[in-house]
Amino acid sequence: MPPLDQERLSDLTLLRSSESTYPDSPEEAQLETFENRYPERDYWVTFDCPEFTARCPVTNQPDFGHVRIRYIPGQRCIESKSLKLYLFAYRNHNTFHEEAVNRIMDDIVAACSPRDIVVTGEFNPRGGISISVEACGGQASPK
C-alpha cells in the first residue's frame, strides 16, 4: 500500500483539529470524506452508534437508539470523526425515527455516493413499543 499522501488528506479538517466543536443540528454538521484507494473492490464499511439520541418532535422527550450504517464505498469514504460529530448533532434535533434514519442515509449518499448502503435504527421502547427502521440505497434496495 502506498504511503499516506498529506495532500490527499488535506480536506479532513475535523480529524486534524485537536478540539471538537459539536454542531447543534444535522444542518450545521459537516460529513467529511477521503479518497477510496480501492474503488474497484466491493467491501463493506460498518459504523455502529449504540448511543444515538434525538428528540421527539411532539413531546420534545429524548429518544435513544442504536444506529448502524453499512455501505460499500464508491470513489469516497466517510471519515469517522466527522460522522461521530454529525450523529451527535441529532441529540437536540426534533425528528421521528423514520425521518432520522432516512436523513442519515440521504446525507451520507450526498457526501460520498456509495455503491450500496443500509442504515438501520433500533430505537428503545417508549410507551411499550420499540421501533426498528431500515433504509436501503443502491444494490441493497428492495426491488
Map out the domains of the chain as residue ranges: 30-138
Q: Of 24, 42, 63, 112, which one is the catalytic site residue?
A: 63
Q: Residue 102 is which amino acid?
A: N
**How high does pLDDT run on average in the chain?**
89
Q: Kindly report the CATH number that applies to the domain delimited by 30-138.
A: 3.30.1130.10
State residue 64 phi and psi, 5-degree precision.
Answer: -115, 145
107 catalytic per annotation: no
Q: How many CB atoms lie within 10 A of CB 65?
A: 23
**117-136 per-position pLDDT tens digit:** 999 999 999 889 999 999 99
Q: Of 42, 48, 56, 112, which one is the catalytic site residue?
A: 56
Q: If you compute the radius of gyration of the chain from its CA atoms, what whole number of angstroms results?
A: 16
Which is nearest to 83 in space by CA: 14, 136, 4?
14
| 90, 100 Cβ separation under 8 angstroms | yes
63 catalytic per annotation: yes
**62-103 per-position pLDDT tens digit:** 999 999 999 999 999 999 999 999 999 999 999 999 999 999
